[in-house]
Amino acid sequence: MDDKSSKNEKRLVNDAKQEQLDRYRVQNKGKPMTTKEGLKVSNDEEILKAGVRGPGLIEDFYFLEKFGHFNREEIPERVVHARGYSAHGEFECYQSMKHVTKAGFLQEAGKKTPLTVRFSTVQGPKGSYDTARDLRCKGVKFYTEEGNYDLTTIAMPVLIVQDPLKFPDMIHAYQSKQDDDIPTATGAHDRFWDYVANNPESLHMVTWIMSDRGLVRSYRMMESWSINTYLFINEQGVATFVRFVWKPVLGVHSLLQDEAIKIGGLDPDFHRKDLREAIAKGAYPEYELGVQLIPMEDEFKYDFDILDPAKFWPEELIPVQIIGKMTLNRNIDNYFTESEQVAFNPANVVPGIGFSNDPVLQGRLFAYRDTQHHRLGSANYDELPINRPLCPFHNNTRRGVMRQRIDVDQVNYHRNSLANNTPYTTPPEEGGYAHYPKRVEGHVIRGRSKSFNDFFSQTRIFWNSLTPVEKQHTIEAFSYQLGKVRSESVRQQNVNLLVNVDKNLANIVADNIGVNRPTGTHVPVSTKYPSLSQTSTPKYAYTQKVGVLIDDGFNGREVTNVLNFLRQSGVFVVIISSTLGSVTGNDGTKLKVDETFITTSPYLVDSLYVVGGRSKNQNKFNSDVTYYVHVAYKHYKPIGVASSGKTFVRASEKNNLAGVVFAENNQNFGKDFISAIQQQRFWNRK
């Protein structure tokens, strides 16, 4: 096949899912209103009555249809991951992985596979807010030519439980109380921390959540891991243990606790809007897919159990090999049909990917399909457009609620002669899926391997790997969360547990929450890994949001040059002033105002460009600008100051103006400001 034919074939494959979804899309604009059966509607404002002042009539079939559908518009929300948001994109394979797996979408460099992704929090209901301190998840559904492959990941490399039987208990403890349904989207309450204190394996993941990792700046900047251990299987039948990790190209960045709490009230949809805005502007979020591989014969090589989902695989010991990139390049058109109805299941695999004996993974293989049956009301949920495979599918399932397929053949059983025993099974050597023949032995027992029982060594390693600033943020998070616990006994139990991770950490938290300092000390582990700290992540000015504080009379030439430079650098610019409309510079330059001081907040931008200007209410304008500068400064954000804005930012004995860039007498202001935006936070600021 020549290159042109190959490219055309790939294009057709990549467009196939889009075309499939397009068949289900309906545009109402410019069309007559009809019933669901296609009957044109003449009146959509009054019910059918016996006289204009008379009672309604049951004959009004249109009212019954419209209101009956309205009453059933919502489906049960997910028990966990209820609040989420989705986007579409594609995955491009960087290199052939055929030496370890026969998965078709990983066989050829340059091969592209369409996909959909859903990001979510865990604890809060669908109506909660995006920026809660929580474990975040990312499910990716690859529409491969061999069937759908669902890769589910979370924003930490460790899980809170080691056995699936404990998961319902953990969620019951984590979620709101039954009597008052309080609190929403937070684990800062007695029941969750009582669970943590009495289930020490949970402390590892909890410490990750209390770190900056629990407050992601953006879904576009979220690293995520498969947690569970899977298998790659190649054409020769050789298996390799594998864990997956998505690494955001923009790096891993976080909000501060104060910012996250404030944004939760100011803009509950902060992460959703951020994702949608970036895609709409063509700044497509990108994530590179990495794999960590361990040969089967090295299963017991490490001082942790590689099947333990509460343990991470250190990158320094088991390198991450980058094998491809996911690009999210299209927003969803309908939240309900493309995000609320999307259904993930780790059991959705393709030939070349299998399952280890990881106990939590084994439990998940049941739980996901079962919950989707319940939520979506039918075993036919996988026929919904968003879940439907790209490749053809044939089987003997029939009927069921909301069946969409129209089965025209009458033979629906295996081993038949009437249809020449079709649909037929496919041998593994021809592409049929076969489970890897893992060796198993032992007695039937409820229990877990003793190799899972080291609960603190890796937690200590994570703590050791954090920078002083990251440690301080983690201390603040523990102090805030445990400070919300009313039971003194539960607070004391938790610092008694925390001392195993770090004595100083436990002592400071104990002092902050009013309990006794614990006895004992931390486990004797001094290991640290640079990969566990967010300071090792890439940093870019690209897509950082800059709030421009401005009013009439600004230096048109100076400000225009700066704004053009920012936009050319990929920075998102938000013009903020006293009123909507436009502001006019001293040379007649007009800038459209995007937000006012009332409609937005300094918490919603990553940095400030302080221009100043003349306002109808100068005192109010000056007060607003001063407030924005104060908030940005205390949160260590970059601040650029135009020549006309220098009165708003002045040096004193109480500050050192780290990260503040002045335009006055600075020929390189644009570059210097971009450099500051790229750094994102100035922790040396006082």
Question: Looking at residue 513, which CATH number applies to its domain?
Answer: 1.20.1370.20
Q: Which of 324, 353, 383 is the last residue of a domain?
A: 383
Q: Look up the CATH number of the domain holding residue 594.
A: 3.40.50.880
Residues 510 and 565 in one domain: no
Q: Both ends of the chain: CA-CA distance in Å?
A: 64
pLDDT digit string (tens) for 216-253? 999 999 999 999 999 999 999 999 999 999 999 999 99
Judge if 277 and 264 occupy the same domain. Answer: yes
Q: Which two tokens stand for residue 510?
A: 């104990």
Structural domain for 297, as ranges: 84-157+212-383
pTM for the predicted model, two decimal places: 0.93
In a domain, 147, yes or no: yes
Output the pLDDT for position 5: 56
CA distances from 504 to 330, 442, 495, 518, 564 (A): 48, 43, 11, 10, 49
* In-domain check, residue 448: no
Is 60 part of a structural domain of the chain? Answer: yes
Listed residue (314, 350, 327) closest to 278, CA to CA? 327
Asked if residue 506 and residue 488 are part of one domain, the reply reads yes
600 and 647 share one domain: yes
Residues 307 and 324 in one domain: yes
Q: Which of 535, 567, 583 is the last residue of a domain?
A: 535
249 with 121, same domain? Answer: yes
How many domains is the chain partitioned into structurally?
4
- Whether residues 530 and 546 share a domain: the answer is no
Instruction: Flag whether 404 is in a domain.
Output: no
Picking from 383, 400, 435, the residue at the C-terminal end of a domain is: 383
Task: Quote the tokens at residue 570.
Answer: 């990929």
CA 645/CA 669 separation, integer angstroms: 14
Helix (H, G, I), strand (E, B) or coil at 652: strand
Nearest Cα to Cα of residue 143 among 336, 382, 375: 382
90 and 49 co-located in one domain: no
DSSP state of 77: P
Residues 138 and 234 in one domain: yes
Is 330 in contact with 284 (CB distance < 8 Å)? no
523 and 636: one domain? no
For residue 337, the domain's CATH number is 2.40.180.10
pLDDT at res. 493:
98
Residue 61 and residue 89 share a domain: no
pLDDT score, position 168: 92
Q: Which residues lie closer than 8 Å to 373 by C-beta, 6 or more apart?
A: 379, 381
Q: Which residues of the chain have pLDDT under 70?
A: 1-14, 17, 20-21
Do residues 348 and 307 both lie within one domain?
yes
pLDDT at 8: 62
Is residue 233 in a domain?
Answer: yes
Residue 354 within any structural domain of the chain: yes
pLDDT for the residue numbered 323 = 98
